Chains A and B, each alone.
Chain A
Amino acid sequence: MGVTDMDRIEAGVSRADRVAFGPPPFEDFYRAQLGRLVVLARGLCSPSVAEDVAQESMLVAYRRWGMVSELERPDLWVSRVCVRLAVSSFRRRVVELRAVARLARREPGVVTLESEEFWAAVRALPKRQAQAAALRFVYELPIAEIAEVLNCSEGAVKQHLSRARAALHASLGLEDHSGAEPVLPVMPVEGDEQ
């Protein structure tokens, strides 16, 4: 069996490959990436709307698929759309209104209390910290790529993650074995507002 478009998306093939093979169909991208996008949204907004936020992000990608499919990492592009959509109060309100109608027909997926406690702790973080932490946990992105997605400096990402880790350890009652120095109150980092 030959290499499918799905294989290429999951393997993160280079743009040169995509030119050679032709752009992957959006449907394959959707199937490969929706799950992780839902997890990302779940770390940033309530479970009842996370599926809709992810779906809305995919819609944005679908409308621009000609351009998005040309990118080296279309998954990062759509994750950027998702983290913005999930924390934008106005846009989230619109999605929530749609979700209300959908909820009458479908319950959001139920996870264990332990998982829900974890995502609730991430959602309780300040906006930028939650975005950085969710990208780190869900996509396991390096600092530089988180900085690209969030459009801020690597130094700012490091501070966001350091503070997020400290806050999550405290709120989840975990011991911090990272050996990092305790985080002292410092000047606010760019965009570090609730």
Chain B
Amino acid sequence: VSATTTDRPDVEAYLAAVRDELADLRPNERDDLLAEVEASLHDAAEESDAPIAARLGPPADFAAELRAAAGLAPDTAPPSSPRRDRLATAWRSPRTASLKRVLVELAPIWWVARAYVVVALVAWAFDVDWSITAPFVPTVGIGGPGSAGTGLLLLAIAVALSVAHGVRERRRGRPGTLSVAANVFLALAALPLGGDLVERASNRAPTSVYVESPPIPGLALDGVQVENIYPYSREGRLMLDVLLYDQNGVPLNVRPEDGDPSRRVLQAADGTDLFNAFPIRFFEAGTATVAKPGAAPAIRWSPVVTPPLKRSPKR
């Protein structure tokens, strides 16, 4: 092909169009023809500034005339786009053939991958949990939440089946249409799945699990129920009927709702029951007396040495 250069874009465009029209010819045949045309069109263009298409007609007609005069078969093939033609040529090229061989060698990797895709899809469809320790493994049925055992077993079975299927297909030569369709489907499904896995791996579950339990009713200290409160003065004397309030002035009412008749509930002048009086005391059965008002659990007592606070004179 000559090293023609031109400042006539219309000539270049025309040549490109003619080349496309001749896409079905053998490459060397086409190049020979086009080399002749190219040089001549540039010669012609030098003599006239008129647009080349106006003088020569549509590129398709030009190509047909060229083809007929050169004694080459008219393009009877269904109008195939030059791009498709180029693709077909590339598909038959030796480089593509060696690539295809490599891909066939690597196919077992896909057999394993598609088995995983199938299991993951099923896990998705049934919305099962994924293992906490191994975020890529769905947990199935037994084994408890977060356990990878059954999921791994299922994966192993799926991989074995998939590889067996792949080997069988390979022996048979050509894969069935259904098989091809299934593989394409799985390959497409693998895309969103892959994204999900990457996300799953990046915010991998913490190794320790916090179990959210319902809040403990009443008073609690560090999650342990406080049944009763025994207030002592700094002198070490158990105080009775101490009313406790929180930082908002809300009485620390303990079990106001349980209606235990044996509980000694203090009463205010306005008639309200005081459930925040400590220690909570209980009457002897059937009476209104507390047997041992000073009873208290054993405490470790040591005299307080910090000087007592002084109330401000104002109050």
User: Do they bind each other?
Assistant: no
